Amino acid sequence: MLNQKALVSAIALTFLMPAAAKANDSNELEALRAEIQQMKQNYESRIQTLESRLQTAETVAAEADKKADEATVQVSARPTASNALNPDISLILSGTYANRSQNSNYHITGFQAGGEIGPGTKGFNLGESELGFYSSIDPNFYGGLNLALAPDNTIGVEEAFVQTSTLPYGVTLKAGRFFSSIGYLNEQHAHTWDFVDSPLAYQAFLGNQFGDDGVQLKWLAPTDMFLELGAEYGRGRIAETQGRDKNGGGAGSIFVHVGGDLGISSSWRAGLSYLEVSPKDRASSDLDATGSDITNSFTGNSKVWLADFVWKWAPNGNATNTSFKLQGEYLHRTEKGDLTYDIDSVSNSSRYSASQDGWYLQGVYKFLPYWRAGLRYDQLNSGSVHYGDNSANLANSSYDPKRFSAMLDFSPSEFSRIRLQVSSDKSRQEATDNQVFIQYQMSLGAHGAHKY
């Protein structure tokens, strides 16, 4: 409005100028001059404002263009499907063919083992198919479920856990069902094992592998050397038992792992673990003094020490063509409690105590891309066993079970493996079982990252 008025005045002024001069009214002229000056300033400042606004707009536009360019680069890699947030799904398929010289009534002479142990049945066997779902839950939690689909058409929950991801000071808390971090091999899924079966010491003392329902606290030290301390507390579902139905828990463990590098070509990890568990009605296959197959049951207290180490070597740390892995573990178990002899007929319960140990040592050598060969030696030491009133039926044996295994495997990619294994299994005093296994293990779906 003001501008319009000023413009009109300016035009008027131009025409009226001579008249005004003639009028020679200096006051009026002065007022007009001031008004023109003000108009001029007014316009200049407006033009300046407009120019600066234009400049800003241009910069913004340029930036937007740049951002749009960047966006096109990024967008192409971004999934837009509604299932983009589904967890990683991985599937492990495995199967075995077994040829064995002895029957499948497996037991370990002199050891009240328990759990699903032994070399399994003869002929074609579908292994456990593992179906895993893993994902971050939110910024604070990570979780996963691993189902084991057994060949007898049953489904087992192998792992179902949640763990924290953002606790400070290197602390991680885990809850649910998970493989215990005791020892070295215990935490590893069966499909990552270097042999078809687990070591005898694991079969005798941990019922193959110890996974429990409970909580785990781990702390990683802020040191150059890897130092990890941890403790677990759970219901004690060892060797196919159900764990304790009581307030508190039926199993506790503590463990320490250390590790590091030796130059650029080799690395190592060693550990010491202690597990205390109170199994209830732990069924174990055995052979009585008359030579009949029976099942015993143990309820009591079981303490297991584990010492483990692994050393891996590859030239310059490049395992494509050549690598070597040496691994060994020692387990010692002491047990006190009640052993029921032959639960199916005699069912005589008596005090039982035992102190026994075992170890294994294995080496796996990659001699060509895709090809590995390995040897393993297993031994259990009978130690001292007291059967109490049952000593008439269960002979005290000084037999030390042993097993020797050799394997050759071929992995044309990191997702597939075919393995041949031969073993001479002297778990049973009365019979040496000569075994040949052919196994495949395949991994489908999300790219699994394997633990050390």
* Binding footprint of another protein on the chain (CB under 8 A): 73-74, 76-77, 139, 142, 163, 165-172, 218-229, 231, 252, 254, 257-261, 264, 267-269, 274, 276, 312, 315-321, 369-370, 412-415, 447, 449-452
Distance CA 330, CA 318 (A): 29
Least Å distance, CB 163 to another protein, is 8
- DSSP assignment of 294-363 equals EEEEEEEEEEEEEEEEEEEE-GGG-TTT-EEEEEEEEEEEEEEEEEEE-TTTT-EEEEEEEEEEEEEEEE
Nearer to another protein by Cβ, of 257 and 428: the residue is 257
Contacts of 233 (CB under 8 A, 6+ apart): 214, 215, 249, 251, 252
Minimum CB separation of residue 215 from another protein in Å reads 14
- Based on CB atoms, which residue is closest to another protein, 105 or 320? 320
Residue 211 neighbours by CB under 8 Å, 6+ apart: 158, 159, 177, 178, 179, 180, 237
Task: Report DSSP state, residue 187.
Answer: G
Q: CB 85 → another protein: shortest distance, Å?
A: 13
Q: How far apart are CA 340 and CA 334, in angstroms?
A: 18
Question: How far apart are alpha carbons 270 and 329 in whole angstroms?
Answer: 9
Residue the block writes with tokens 């009028």: 23
Shortest distance in whole angstroms from residue 62 CB to another protein: 17
Tell me whether residue 5 or residue 450 sits nearer to another protein (CB atom): 450
Nearer to another protein, 69 or 152 (CB): 69
Least distance in angstroms from the C-beta of 12 to another protein: 59
Residues whose CB is less than 8 angstroms from the CB of residue 355 and which lie 6 or more positions away in sequence, other chains included? 332, 333, 334, 335, 383, 384, 385
Of 167 and 307, CB closest to another protein:
167
CB of 206 closer than 8 Å to CB of 181: no
Query: Smaller CB distance to another protein: residue 254 or 406?
Result: 254
Residue 294 Rama label (left phi>0; alpha psi -120 to 50; beta): beta
Least CB distance to another protein at residue 285 (A): 32
Closer Cβ to another protein, 101 or 166, answer by number: 166
| Residue 266: closest CA among 325, 310, 314, 309 | 314
- What the block records as the tokens of 130 is 């593992």
**Closer by beta carbon to another protein, 19 or else 73:** 73
The minimum distance between CB 231 and another protein, in angstroms, equals 7
Nearest distance, CB of residue 86 and another protein, angstroms: 15
When the beta carbons of 315 and 383 are compared against another protein, the nearer one is: 315
Q: Which is nearer to another protein, 159 or 342 (CB)?
A: 159
CB of 259 to another protein, least distance (A): 3
CB of residue 114 to another protein, shortest distance in Å: 24
Query: Nearest-CA neighbor of 360 among 205, 158, 226?
Result: 205
Please give the span between the terminal C-alpha atoms of the chain, in angstroms, as a whole number: 80
Tell me whether residue 365 is exposed, middle or buried, using C-beta atoms within 10 angstroms of its C-beta: 0 to 12, 13 to 18, 19 or more: middle
